[in-house]
Copies of this chain bind each other. A is one copy, B any other.
Amino acid sequence: MTLPTGPVLALSGGVGGAKLCLGLDDQLPAGQLHIACNTGDDFEHLGLTICPDIDTVLYTLGGISNPQQGWGLDGETWQVLAALEQLGADSWFRLGDRDLATHLWRAGELARGTTLSAVTADLGKRLGVTAAVYPMSDDPVRTVVQTAAGDLPFQHYFVREQCRPPVHGFSFSGVGSAALQPALAALCASGALGGVIICPSNPFVSIDPMLQLDSFWQTLRESQVPVLAVAPIVAGQALKGPAAKMMAELNLPVTATGVAAHYARRYPGLIETFVVDHSDATLAPAIQKLGMEVEVTATIMRERADKQALATVCLELLCR
């Protein structure tokens, strides 16, 4: 396997992104994998700051995630949630006991003025994660989903309303004044970056908040580092989450091409290569017309070997 000479930066949302990150972590030498996590779906709940994408990535790389559902923790229990329900408190966000320990520890650190970056790095160490995991920013950015039922904070849309209200747009509260996480900015400025992988995460609520933050996408484009993206839509369906439903509601074609077109329109010239599944091989000409190379491979990551294989394809593409 040919590996990029410099460090590799992955942009990740939750479950799908974390799977590819795990594959990358297996294939790259220690110290070479850097992961920027979306914080647009972070939220404040019961006095805690909850960071679902950061935690999914850390739990996955730490080997403690629930292997069935992809998020949350293996062997989780639900004592606190049951007591919250008895109190008549909001219990729509399913907080497990072990997961709560993470949120409480983070809340304690944040309360004493530690940055989210430092808390994330420390949590990674405590979980034995060797990859460098960063929030996209230390400043709060919060995704708001514009729906037929009104504007909803992301977790209200995603968990409480179970993605039912039809979507007509998104906004990212705070994105105008948030600074890119300093280590990410330094990585881009270093000239050493070997490549960027946009994980198969939701384009609208996982990737857009990151790329739109603090001119991050222009910074990446100007650095001339190779950038590839893996399609989160396979055979017209999202493997996880509401991406396909959102695309239909936004009147976008529910295909990998639809995702590529969204990226090409929003971030012209950024993505060199778009990776699609074998089942979408016929979409290649349409995606090439958007100015991207197309790589056709197996993108469905069920087993560890699937994650490693897709990671290998991505890493070799960055060396071309």
Residues in A lying within 8 Å of B, measured CB to CB:
44-48, 77, 79-81, 83-84, 86-90, 97-98, 100-102, 104-108, 110-111, 123, 126
Contact = CB atoms under 8 A, between A and B. Distances in A.
Nearest to A103: B47
A104 B88 contact: no
For chain A, what secondary structure do more than half of its interface residues adopt (helix, strand, loop), or is it mixed?
A: helix
Nearest to A83: B101
Contacts of A88: 126
A119 to B, nearest CB: 11
Given A88-B126, A126-B87, A45 B98 contact: no
A140 to B, nearest CB: 14
B104 A84 contact: yes
Task: Report the copy number of this chain in the oligomer.
Answer: 2
A87 B126 CA distance: 6
15 contacts: A46-B104, A47-B104, A47-B106, A47-B107, A47-B111, A79-B79, A80-B97, A80-B100, A80-B101, A80-B104, A84-B105, A87-B101, A88-B126, A89-B104, A100-B100
A44 to B, nearest CB: 7
A159 B305 CA distance: 49
Nearest to A90: B108
Nearest to A73: B83
A87 B111 contact: no
